[in-house]
Structure 1
């Protein structure tokens, strides 16, 4: 039996009226949430959903996604969350690739379900005040059953389904609870979307497991975000660097952050200068972390109790090993640069239906991330760049992240991305794209002078382009692939 599938019912038995989940004006205590989960699970059973099936959900951030996740586990089924911003063709691909048996969602979801020949369940009918539910045998999920099928962003081809079982999520959520000392006193503010592992595991599963509360935030809006923090009184939230940069740039009033005991940054490297500026301004520690969907979301995070090193992604989480290796697979000593590899009970079971691709990234129990990093003598990991992002200019290796860090140090820069552009003589040259902070103007030549004063000559971008904003995916992570397209240069 999976202990995660039991969470709603264990909480309801221990403290029926205790706060569990909040979504706008709606508040679910433990008893009501458990009743909703059981009721939805029984409705899924009536549709023929059985252990081993896949349940899909496609909705904007709302409590119903969380209810559907636990209801799927109650049936012994896996959940695959579908990004509501996907096109119909993209959504159909995920439904078919995951072999989903039912889609929980709105009217659009009903049309999509019909187009691929699967059942549909109206999300609007999930929430109910009636606590009376027909008796049954209880949750059916086992530790080795698949729990989540999370689809990658697809920046290098068709998205792949990352298979995470209950044992993966048990290890991951337990590791986060231990690292952050999460308890019933904690409230997570869900800022990131619930179709990704971060929102579902770090933002939802870990605090619920610890006895805490979850507040589902609407779509991120900088003008109203601090009002939500002041009203909901969360103890932490997790966000991406872009959100922190926007909050820093657009906040013009004093804000009450007294409820927050820490903030987490992930998904992409956060400039050390931004971390220190944000902490000083808002009075809350920002701990940068690192992980992948393939490692159940997180593998390294800076500690709350102990030295925090801005510019690093911290130490390995409890129960995990993180190292760097050479191209031949040799483990490298502290200070050496190599590919980051991860081992632990949190590492995925594999890519759905892709054994060859699974074998390429999981070797001898180690997950090969494709990221270049350095582990220092204290065990802190610094991510240098993606292996595929490396730019080789006339035989010289250039890591775009180093140039981006330099650009972020300019007071007018809000966002920066550096990519390689083919060059007939040098092979590749770096090109920089920059978005200025609100109300600021910056010229390409000014950026060139700024970089030339801080970087070796061969690292200075060949071209600087200033845009109002840079392309980002649904999580707010910069998408460099779009900048590499010839039409974008």
Structure 2
């Protein structure tokens, strides 16, 4: 297991007393972090948790969550981070599906499904002298069970190995030129692989720092940046929209770059955010099944706005036709990904794994095209495509057209049932604060930008769009809401 560079017990030897991890209550060096990991690993081991077991960690973003993940790995166990806002039904589904042996949470009144629990207040913090694990983790062990958002059914547990995580975090270090001088401000939820890889494991590998913030708010973000002086952060388009809409912006001069992922961002919002903060924002793309990221624009190289960049080092991207054949440059089809980042599979779902990974290629369910330089442009999700009277309409094209209006903060387009055409596009739009934009203004704005068949039959200006737990716009939820209001 010595080839896994992000293990705390390896990092403590190399980094020692260098600053490592902090939150609102703790500030740990690399050695102190490793000591905390060993202390909790010994506690887990004493509770008969060991190699091959699954530890469910149901905590909000805080340092102890990362201690718990690493402690599970110290004894060869798998960790499954659980959304701390889940209902008992949602949490217990994940506990059951993952086969969790133990739950780490914030107290006895929280869901456990009848399993043994350790409250965060009861986590051991002092290592036992001379303790070492009987069996530690190795590269091909499953490190994480990350559950997908379940927009097409019950959530599935994505099995990611330490080899997957080592490859991905190393790739991040290389692509973003991370060094020991880098300091990540973590604002995304740690039950998602983006935060674990981009904001936790990558800076650890580089010998840098990680600051875990509390619940996100624009005011808190600017205060934290001014106080902590981070060099980068990763966020979703919603966060950039919120930050860009603020009247005042704090001191962001310490930031070297920022990353946008999880959902497409419009060129207009990207431009607005970059100008407000005076830094480079690189858009990337990936799936949980591909251990976070597969493509990303380079912070220091050629960035092509409107694309999600070229394949990350060591990965391949192809575009496939309906029969799985690889298509030439410029053709539009399903995005396929191959490389050491591809998941082992879905836990307990061999058939779904077989449909998703074919001959080593991960079928993403996204529609895109590659240009002559290998930069990927995403068109839409296959399942979100609207078929209006036999015409294929991609909602993202309509959303992009809406985003060119100065008053539009965010937009989501869904397909609504229609007796004649089968489906028709309907738009939901959030405007910037105090913007006087109406649905009629937006309809007129679109007429010169889209053919008639692509024009939404209705445009609804709303205060907010529904989100899934990762912060993406919840289109299945939006479709459900639409059905109940018409």
Question: TM (normalized to structure 1)?
Answer: 0.96
Residue by residue over 1:111-160, the C-alpha shift from the partner in whole angstroms, topping out at 9 and shown as x without a partner, is 522xx3321112123373x4664432476001111000000001111000
Q: In structure 1, how many angstroms separate the alpha carbons of the residues matched to 2:186 and 2:22?
A: 10
> Which residue of 2 is the match for residue 155 of structure 1?
151
Q: Residue 70 of structure 2: SS of its match in structure 1?
A: helix
Q: In structure 1, how many angstroms separate the alpha carbons of the residues matched to 2:390 and 2:212?
A: 49
> Which residue of 1 is the match for residue 361 of structure 2?
366
Confirm or deny: 8 A CA contact 2:40 2:123 kept in the other structure: yes
Residue by residue over 1:38-70, the C-alpha shift from the partner in whole angstroms, topping out at 9 and shown as x without a partner, is 000000001101100000100110001100111
Q: In structure 1, how many angstroms separate the alpha carbons of the residues matched to 2:233 and 2:39?
A: 30
Q: In structure 1, how many angstroms separate the alpha carbons of the residues matched to 2:25 and 2:215?
A: 15
> Which residue of 2 is the match for residue 284 of structure 1?
279
The equivalent position to 1:124 in structure 2, one of 121, 129, 136, is 121
Q: In structure 1, how many angstroms separate the alpha carbons of the residues matched to 2:300 and 2:431?
A: 35
Over aligned residue pairs, what C-alpha RMSD do you find? 1.5
Q: In structure 2, how many angstroms separate the alpha carbons of the residues matched to 1:159 and 1:137?
A: 32
**150-159 vs 421-430, which moves further:** 421-430
> Which residue of 2 is the match for residue 197 of structure 1?
193
Q: Residue 100 of structure 1: SS of its match in structure 2?
A: coil
> Which residue of 1 is the match for residue 90 of structure 2?
90
Residue by residue over 1:62-108, the C-alpha shift from the partner in whole angstroms, topping out at 9 and shown as x without a partner, is 00110011100001000000001111000000001000000011115
Gap change, CA 1:6 and 1:198, over 3 Å in 2? closer
Confirm or deny: 8 A CA contact 1:176 1:206 kept in the other structure: yes
Instruction: State yes or no: 1:336 paired with 2:318.
Output: no
Gap change, CA 1:6 and 1:391, over 3 Å in 2? closer
Confirm or deny: 8 A CA contact 1:6 1:139 kept in the other structure: no
Instruction: State yes or no: 1:321 paired with 2:316.
Output: yes
Gap change, CA 1:423 and 1:328, over 3 Å in 2? same
Q: In structure 2, how many angstroms separate the alpha carbons of the residues matched to 1:224 and 1:28?
A: 22
Gap change, CA 1:184 and 1:5, over 3 Å in 2? closer
> Which residue of 2 is the match for residue 112 of structure 1?
111
Deviation at 1:254, TM superposition (A): 4.2
> Which residue of 2 is the match for residue 241 of structure 1?
237
Q: In structure 2, how many angstroms separate the alpha carbons of the residues matched to 1:39 and 1:367?
A: 38
Gap change, CA 1:6 and 1:398, over 3 Å in 2? closer
Q: In structure 2, how many angstroms separate the alpha carbons of the residues matched to 1:19 and 1:131?
A: 19
Confirm or deny: 8 A CA contact 1:74 1:138 kept in the other structure: no
Q: In structure 2, how many angstroms separate the alpha carbons of the residues matched to 1:239 and 1:23?
A: 18
Instruction: State yes or no: 1:470 paired with 2:465.
Output: yes
**418-427 vs 86-95, which moves further:** 418-427
**Runs of 4+ that moved beyond 3 A:** 2-6, 130-134
- Unpaired runs of 5+ residues, structure 1, are none
> Which residue of 1 is the match for residue 431 of structure 2?
436
**181-190 vs 342-351, which moves further:** 181-190
Q: In structure 2, how many angstroms separate the alpha carbons of the residues matched to 1:112 and 1:396?
A: 47
Gap change, CA 1:488 and 1:187, over 3 Å in 2? farther
Q: Residue 315 of structure 1: SS of its match in structure 2?
A: coil
**195-204 vs 466-475, which moves further:** 466-475
Instruction: State yes or no: 1:140 paired with 2:136.
Output: yes
Deviation at 1:437, TM superposition (A): 1.2
In the alignment of these two chains, the number of paired residues is 484
Residue by residue over 1:324-359, the C-alpha shift from the partner in whole angstroms, topping out at 9 and shown as x without a partner, is 100111111111000000000010000000001111
Q: In structure 2, how many angstroms separate the alpha carbons of the residues matched to 1:375 and 1:217?
A: 37
Gap change, CA 1:276 and 1:294, over 3 Å in 2? same
Residue by residue over 1:297-318, the C-alpha shift from the partner in whole angstroms, topping out at 9 and shown as x without a partner, is 0000001221101110001000
- Unpaired runs of 5+ residues, structure 2, are none
The equivalent position to 1:217 in structure 2, one of 200, 213, 216, is 213
Residue by residue over 1:389-448, the C-alpha shift from the partner in whole angstroms, topping out at 9 and shown as x without a partner, is 111112221110010011111122112100001111112110001112112232111111
Question: TM (normalized to structure 2)?
Answer: 0.97
**303-312 vs 96-105, which moves further:** 303-312
